[in-house]
């Protein structure tokens, strides 16, 4: 066996260009499969990690999915609003640990502005219950203070102390700026890899204040904006939604039920975890398709290897014949060829794993920045090992095809004059 292995290695070495190309083809396909899987798990984890520690998201009557999309992912528009009275009712309930109001509807150069309370910085959690951290500055204090997410700060080049203007509506360009109410950046959040990075956070009072004199939907010419009036601490009449943390798990369900049945105002209370997994089930089809494509590429790689070995057989008739002449039986020839294909597959799988981890390590910072996905490099997991083993096994099985052909070729085949 050892001698056969060394024979196989030497034989491969003598055809190193073809062998290398075969290994390369397999390596690329394996790297693709592993890379897709890494991206998939990264996306899934990042997705589920968008919000954690929030037990309920409460908004106007709509679907839970819709509610989670606009309140957490900043996708889509809120359909209606929630009265401040309902928020207070929930906030004062003895089972409620905390409640944080959010108010959407304005933007700053394409980034959404979210009005909230200072409690947001304290209670909002993402990933494994990681709280929000500041890269610079601190939460807003004054009505005209703003805190920006990491992406906002990076792409617009903002620093603490800069002055910005917010505009009405959620479009990238606005011709209706609230330039009568400039804001000052007091804090920049550390990157989270969640939609929070793309937010401009201001106080609820600020949202009311910038709409002061805009009640008709456009700037009123009759009433000049009264900035001092904005310091009025009275709460807004309406908010977009609110996040709730409950003191105990069963209370979450009680509260959800009660809010969904609340007669005084049509509300929807969503469990973020349930809504997220529902959403993932919907978009998860795409990643299954990706996986299937990657698996097909591995199949193509292995088919290519079989084709190369089969064509190679013709050229190696003399090699086989010489082996047979010096005493190798047909079984030895069979084993030799199976060994060759298994070796190629093994090398391909290892090179593929290296290629995948190298590419991922190189691309990780970019992916994290652009897509907000964190790709943990780490050691190869059970899945990677299983893929490697499957590829090697497939190489072994595929090798039996040329091996069988070579096995059946007679001793005389390679020695006859027709070669």
Partner 1 sequence: MRDVKAWSLLLVLLLLPRAAGADGRTIDWVDLVPESERATYDPAPPPPVHDYLSGDSAALASMQVMKGDVNEALDGQQVRLPGYVVPLELDEEGRVTEFFLVPYFGACIHVPPPPPNQMVYVVMDRGIDLGSMYSAYWISGTMATRRRDTSMGAAAYTLAGTRAEEYKF
Q: Confirm or reject binding of residue 249 to partner 1 (CB under 8 A).
A: yes
Length of the chain in terms of residues written = 419
Point out which span in 253-261, 334-342, 371-379, 386-394 binds partner 1 (CB under 8 A). Answer: 253-261
Asked whether 265 and 237 are in contact (CB, 8 A), the reply is no
Taking the CA atoms of residue 173, residue 179, residue 182 and residue 185 in that order, the dihedral angle to the nearest 10 degrees is 10
12 vs 341: CA distance, rounded Å: 10
Nearest to partner 1 of 48, 313 (CB atom): 48
Would you say 170 or 251 has its CB closer to partner 1?
251
Alpha-carbon distance of 288 to 292, in angstroms, equals: 6
Residue number with CB closer to partner 1 (90 or 347): 90
How far apart are CB 235 and partner 1 at their closest, in Å? 19
Give CA–CA dist 368/263, Å, rounded. Answer: 45
C-beta separation of 32 from 294 below 8 A = yes
Asked if 73 interacts with partner 1 (CB under 8 A), we say: no
- Phi, psi at 301, each rounded to 5°: -60, -45
Residue 191 DSSP symbol:
P
Total binding residues toward partner 1, as defined by CB under 8 A: 21
Phi-psi region at 86: left, alpha or beta (left = phi > 0; alpha = psi -120 to 50) = alpha
Q: How far is the CB of 250 from partner 1 (least distance, A)?
A: 5
Name the one residue in this structure whose structure tokens are 């190489």: 395
Residue 193 CB, shortest distance to partner 1, in Å, is 18
Q: Could you say whether residue 282 binds partner 1 (CB under 8 A)? A: no
CB 50 within 8 A of CB 129: no
- Nearer to partner 1 by Cβ, of 128 and 418: the residue is 128
User: Considering only 256-264, 346-354, 368-376, 391-399, which stretch makes contact with partner 1 by CB under 8 A?
Assistant: 256-264
Q: Does the footprint of partner 1 cover residue 255 (CB under 8 A)?
A: yes
Q: Which long-range contacts (CB under 8 A, 24 or more apart) does 132-137 make?
A: 132/189, 132/190, 132/192, 132/196, 133/189, 133/190, 134/187, 134/188, 134/189, 134/190, 135/188, 135/189, 135/190, 135/191, 136/160, 136/187, 136/188, 137/185, 137/186, 137/187, 137/188
Out of 229, 231, 257, 408, which residue is the one contacting partner 1 (CB under 8 A)? Answer: 257
Among 1, 2, 17, 92, binds partner 1 (CB under 8 A): 92
CB of 133 to partner 1, least distance (A): 20
Token output for 265? 């105002």
- Range in contact with partner 1 (rule: CB under 8 A) among 130-138, 199-207, 208-216, 242-250: 242-250
Residues 93-132 that bind partner 1 (CB under 8 A): 93-95, 128
Contact residue for partner 1 among 259, 269, 336, 387 (CB under 8 A)? 259
CA 260 – CA 280 distance, rounded (Å): 23
Determine the interface stretch with partner 1 among 165-173, 250-258, 293-301, 359-367 (rule: CB under 8 A).
250-258
Q: Among 90-98, 173-181, 331-339, 371-379, which window interacts with partner 1 (CB under 8 A)? A: 90-98
Minimum Å gap between C-beta 273 and partner 1 is 5
Applying CB under 8 A, the residues found at the interface with partner 1 are 89-90, 92-95, 128, 248-251, 253-255, 257-259, 261-262, 273-274
């Amino acid at each position: 066996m050892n001698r056969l292995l060394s024979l196989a290695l030497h034989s491969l070495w003598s055809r190193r260009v073809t062998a290398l190309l075969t290994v390369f083809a397999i390596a690329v396909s394996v790297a693709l499969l592993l890379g897709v899987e890494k991206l998939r798990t990264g996306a899934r984890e990042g997705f589920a990690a968008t919000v954690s520690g929030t037990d309920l998201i409460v908004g106007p009557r709509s679907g839970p999915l819709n509610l989670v999309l606009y309140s957490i992912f900043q996708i889509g528009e809120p359909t209606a609003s929630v009265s401040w009275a309902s928020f207070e009712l929930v906030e004062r309930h003895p089972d409620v640990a905390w409640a944080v109001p959010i108010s959407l509807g304005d933007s700053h150069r394409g980034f959404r502005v979210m009005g909230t309370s200072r409690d947001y910085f304290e209670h909002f959690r993402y990933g494994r219950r990681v709280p929000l951290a500041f890269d610079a500055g601190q939460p807003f204090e004054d009505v005209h203070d703003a805190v920006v997410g990491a992406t906002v700060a990076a792409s617009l080049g903002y620093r603490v102390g800069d002055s910005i203007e917010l505009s009405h509506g959620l479009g990238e360009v606005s011709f209706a700026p609230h330039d009568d109410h400039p804001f000052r950046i007091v804090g920049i959040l550390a990157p989270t890899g969640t939609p929070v990075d793309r937010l401009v956070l201001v106080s609820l009072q600020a949202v009311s204040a910038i709409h002061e004199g805009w009640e008709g939907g456009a700037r009123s010419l009759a009433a000049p904006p009264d900035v001092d009036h904005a310091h009025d601490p009275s709460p807004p009449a309406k908010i977009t939604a609110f996040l709730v943390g409950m003191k105990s798990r069963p209370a979450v369900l009680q509260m959800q039920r009660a809010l969904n049945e609340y007669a005084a105002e049509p509300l929807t209370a969503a469990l973020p975890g349930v809504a997220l997994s529902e959403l993932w089930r919907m978009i998860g089809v795409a990643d299954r398709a990706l996986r299937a494509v990657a698996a097909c590429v591995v199949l193509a790689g292995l088919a290519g290897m079989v084709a190369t070995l089969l064509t190679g057989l013709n050229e190696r008739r003399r090699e086989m014949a010489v082996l047979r002449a010096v005493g190798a039986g047909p079984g030895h020839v069979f084993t030799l060829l199976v060994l060759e294909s298994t070796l190629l597959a093994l090398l391909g799988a290892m090179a593929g794993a290296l290629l995948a981890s190298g590419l991922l390590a190189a691309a990780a910072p970019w992916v994290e920045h652009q897509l907000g996905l964190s790709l943990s490099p780490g050691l190869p997991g059970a899945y990677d090992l299983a893929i490697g083993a499957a590829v090697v096994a497939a190489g072994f099985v595929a090798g039996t095809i040329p091996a069988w052909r070579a096995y059946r070729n007679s001793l005389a085949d390679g020695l006859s004059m027709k070669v």
